[in-house]
Structures are given as C-alpha cells and as structure tokens.
Chains A and B, each alone.
Chain A
Amino acid sequence: MTSRFLFALFLAIPAMAARAETPADFLNAYQAEARQAQPGFTSSPQRGEQFFRRVGGKDWSCSTCHTDNPAATGKHASTGKAIEPLAPAANDRRFTRADKVEKWFKRNCNDVVGRACSAAEKSDVLAYLLAVKK
C-alpha cells in the first residue's frame, strides 16, 4: 500500500513541476485566444513594439515605466522605484506565473489604455518582448 502511494507520488512530482510556464506558453495561449475572435491571427513583434510605446489617455505608455528598452531596468513613473527588466532575455522570472502575468496586464492596461488589453494585444506584446535581446 505504502509503496503504491510512493509510486503515485513519484509520478505526481514531475507533473507538478511541469505546471511552471514559459513566456512562449503565454504567447501561444493569447494567440490561440485571439484566433477565436479573429481566425488566422498571428502575433507580431512589430505591432507589439508599437503598442508598447503608444501613449495612452494618461500620457503613459508601457515604456514610461519599462523604458524603450525592455531589457533595461525600469523606473516607476510616480514613485521612482526601480522595476526589474521585463524582457525574458534579461530576466528569466518574467512571464512564468499566470497569476502575476494576469495581475500586471490587468493593472497596467487599465493605467495605460484605460481598459483591459485584448488577447491579440497581449500576444503581440509577448512576441515583441521575446524578440528583445539582452
């Protein structure tokens, strides 16, 4: 009985570890979601870069805090606190946890564009950030 339980646990551990996500997983998931509304949609790093630098209603863009170089250390627009690099090439902790990714897209899209970002916009931004080299 005990050995069966241990065996089951042995099988379960790699499955638990596999739950950690990669930036590419998020890109693919957002792209798949965007395709439901727009068949044939393909994420674009160029569109992502334009979106990243576009200034929204409050005179903020993503790059206001994250700078024009997402591989560099950013700075919070109101508090001045340092923000670790956003590009996965420069910071391997970025885009590895769904709760954090969703939390920051929700907050920051609201701050910059005054609404939630679409799946297409998120996948474009991911494509751009993944294309940024260190």
Chain B
Amino acid sequence: MKTNLALVAAALLVGFGPARADDHERFPLSPAYQEECGSCHVAYPPRLLPAQSWQAVMAGLDKHFGSDASLDAVKAKEIGGYLAANAGRSERLAAPGANGGVNLKITDTPWFKRKHRDGHDGLSAAVWKSAAVKSPANCAACHRQAAAGDYSEGNIRIPRGN
C-alpha cells in the first residue's frame, strides 16, 4: 500500500511538475518588492522590462506615474538590486521613444503589444474598456493569479467586455 502511494505521488510529480514550474511564466518573488510596489499595483514581473528601464523607474519614484512612490534608501537599494537581477534581456522589451529611449512602461514594449493584440485570445477594445479591466496595468483582471506572480495561460480568464 505504502509503495502504491509513493508511486502515485511520483506519478503526480512527474505529471504536474513541469507544468507547474512553467519557468517563463513565473519569477522569484521578493517580499520587499511585493510589499512596497504591490500595495498600489500588481508587483509586475521584473523580467518584463530591461534593467535600464527599472533603473529609470527607481530613479523617479518621487514622481511615479503621477504619484509619490518614494522609498527610503535601504528599501530602494534592496528593490533596485532585485529588479536588476531579474530584469528581462530580450530586445523585444526595448521600446525606443520617450525618456531618452528608455521605456518606463511594460505596456509600451513590442512584446506586450504582440501578446495583447486585438483578437489574440479573445482580446478586444471592449475588454480593455470594460469596468472589470479599465487599465492595462490591471493584470489581475485576466491573469487571476497575478498577485502571486503566476501569469500562466491556465490561469487566464478574460472578463466579458460590456
């Protein structure tokens, strides 16, 4: 009986293990990042912006998209280090334009635009405008486990646009 249970457990690990460890959909969480940045918006996956973008974001926290999001020096150093270490490296994250060619918004990157284009996975202008979504910064409207750092396809539920 014991052996059987062990076998079942092993089968479960083999069966579900790889799907759960969906590396490119997950990222290491930092309690400081979650608490400090995640109190006003979802703690966005660090790999969705290049290191130079995160550096620019951290340098302008006192005027952060219209709000004062300033941090004390200790927290700023810790979070800046975490973002730099986990930043994205793809050239599809660079969006030349404002701010001297360093984009501050994930939604401006070619990668984001392609992944969230009209018609893709049932997305439409109405979905973006719906009361449930309202802002493209509202990841959790569709990525239901975004707060836990999980953006896997299996956890996407697009609310109906109305």
Contact = CB atoms under 8 A, between A and B. Distances in A.
B135 A80 contact: yes
A81 B68 contact: no
Contacts of B41: 76, 79, 81
Interface string B61-92: 01001111111100000000000000000000
Interface string A84-110: 000000000000000100010011101
A25 to B, nearest CB: 21
Contacts of A111: 67-68
B134 interface: yes
Contacts of B12: none
A99 B71 CA distance: 11
Interface residues of B, number: 17
A78 interface: yes
Nearest to B133: A80
Contact of B68 (A76, A80, A99, A107): A107
Interface residues of A, number: 13
Nearest to B147: A81
The CB with the most chain A CB atoms within 10 A, among B40, B62, B67, is that of B67
Contacts of B71: 103
Interface of B: 39-42, 62, 65-72, 134-135, 137-138
22 contacts: A76-B40, A78-B65, A78-B66, A78-B67, A78-B137, A79-B137, A80-B135, A80-B138, A81-B39, A81-B40, A81-B41, A81-B42, A81-B138, A99-B72, A103-B71, A106-B68, A107-B67, A107-B68, A107-B69, A108-B68, A111-B67, A111-B68
Interface of A: 58, 76, 78-81, 99, 103, 106-108, 110-111
